[in-house]
Homo-oligomer: A and B are copies of this chain.
Amino acid sequence: MKIKKEADFSSWYDEVLQEAELVDIRYGVKGFIIYRPNIMRIINQVYELYDKELEKTDHSPCQFPVVIPLSYFKKESVHVKGFEDEVFWVTKAGSHELEEPMILRPTSETAIYPMYSLWIRTYRDLPIKYYQTGSVYRYETRATRPLLRGREFLWIETHNVYSSIEDAREQVKQDMNIAKEVLYEKCGIPFLMLDRPEWDRFAGAQRTYGFDTLLPDGKAIQIVTTHLLGDNFSKVFDIQFEDKDGTKKLGQQTCCGPGISRIAASVICIHGDDYGLVLPFDMAPVQVVIVPIVFKGEEKLVMEKCTDIKRTIEQSGIRVKLDERDMSAGAKFYYWELMGTPIRVEIGPKEVQNHSVTIFRRDNRSRESFEDKNAVVTILRIASSVLSSLRKNAEDYVNKNTRNAKTKEELLSNAEKGGFVKFNFCGKEECADEIKSGTGGIEVRGTLFGSDEKPKGKCAWCGKAATEVAYAAKSY
């Protein structure tokens, strides 16, 4: 790594993507990238973490087609309006035109809900909680950026149906808890869950909640989004059920989309440093790497000890790798630091003699010696300490970069500094537009979900009566 993260975050990001062989952006279609093995293994870990939480909360996996026929897509008029400019069209098969054109799914509501209409008959069929894993396609007109904004991106989408709006609202809370468990508890990524303003809602949703974190350039990025659809879609897709009392009612729906590429990108951007990636233990494809330090004549004992320790670590369920490649220990150190492997165990003649292991932790790059019989306990303790430390740094960054603005002047100067600006807001779209153009681009991202933040006095920008405490930021 040549570029310092502090000095030039954007170039640092490009460099780490290339040096760590994460993605290739030279594919022949703009906005479509190649996920190379080093990022794919990280992404697979994120999927696994998310799937586990979804299964725990009674979501079931399913898979719907990637193509959506025009007749399905155009049913919900607000939805089609929101997406029609950014869909890819499949119009031909072999040498002939299709009778009905199809779109590549930009999201799957209009693919899934016609089927829900067939599957749901009575209250006994509810709730339905399904999730689907895969790619979606959006013809982005904004500048694309690998993993952060692409025309094909990896995500999960959940689609739930309840018999009451109260249950649907509870699902929104569950979506938050799931995100917290994965993002905050496992990946060390803090986020604000923001109730998006009306004009920024998902096309067809009653409410949209965005889960925003801050990247090191002070720009917000939405990494998960959840929508309270209510009966907007169930009306047009005829998702009805017979309730206990015999009456017909409309299903109450929610859907949630964790952006898996973006979660991986956030971890890279937020925790990474001048030596490359820094991965939290749970999402690291290789959690512990063992590097033998060999000198002529002492290889055998060292390698034996490496193999022993590897077996012990493996038996405790940790993903461990013994690096036996024919290259210098220094080159191996460099490689595994670049890859972000949280813990490195170094074993040489000294460790053999002293019944010890030398443990290097990637986050603060410190090195310490421990009794080898305590290797696993020590590793797990350090793993937890690495995670807390990464999380704390990330949290400190968000806190430090969330600034109050009481006046227009403060709004302007805080917008300049980056991060979130928190201010009393009138709640009007026109005012949000003015703020955006007047501040060089900060957008009103919404109000904090579940908080009791009450506005006092006037809108910091326009001076009209404030109706809410809003958060604004430049964003990806």
Contacts and interface: CB of A to CB of B under 8 A. Distances in A.
Contacts of A66: 66, 104, 135, 137, 152
A41 B62 CA distance: 8
18 contacts: A26-B118, A27-B65, A27-B111, A28-B72, A34-B62, A36-B62, A37-B62, A37-B130, A40-B60, A40-B61, A40-B62, A43-B63, A63-B154, A65-B152, A86-B93, A87-B94, A91-B92, A134-B134
A94 B84 CA distance: 6
A29 interface: yes
Contacts of A36: 62
Nearest to A55: B41
Contacts of A33: 65
Contact of A64 (B34, B60, B61, B114): B34
Interface string A72-108: 1000000000001111111111110000001010000
A67 B37 contact: no
B87 A93 contact: yes
Most central of A41, A72, A91, A134 by chain B CB within 10 Å: A91
B93 A89 contact: yes
Contacts of A69: 28-29
Nearest to A152: B65
Interface string A182-211: 000000000000000000000000000000
A29 B69 CA distance: 7
A44 interface: yes
Contacts of A86: 93-94
Contact of A27 (B89, B115, B135): B115
A115 B69 CA distance: 32
B32 A67 contact: yes
A89 B91 contact: yes
Contact of A118 (B24, B88, B137): B24
B139 A93 contact: yes
Nearest to A33: B65
A273 to B, nearest CB: 25
Contacts of A64: 27, 34-35
Q: In the complex this chain forms, how many copies of it are found?
A: 2
A143 B321 CA distance: 48
A71 interface: yes
Contacts of A40: 60-63
Contacts of A84: 94-95
Contact of A65 (B32, B63, B139): B32
A90 B62 contact: no
A61 B34 contact: no
Given A24-B115, A66-B66, A90 B88 contact: yes
A115 B21 CA distance: 13
A93 B92 CA distance: 14
A34 to B, nearest CB: 6
Interface string A31-53: 01111110011011000000000
Given A24-B118, A28-B71, 12 more contacts: A26-B115, A26-B118, A28-B69, A37-B61, A37-B62, A41-B61, A44-B61, A84-B95, A85-B94, A87-B93, A90-B90, A94-B139
A220 B413 CA distance: 72
A89 B34 CA distance: 21
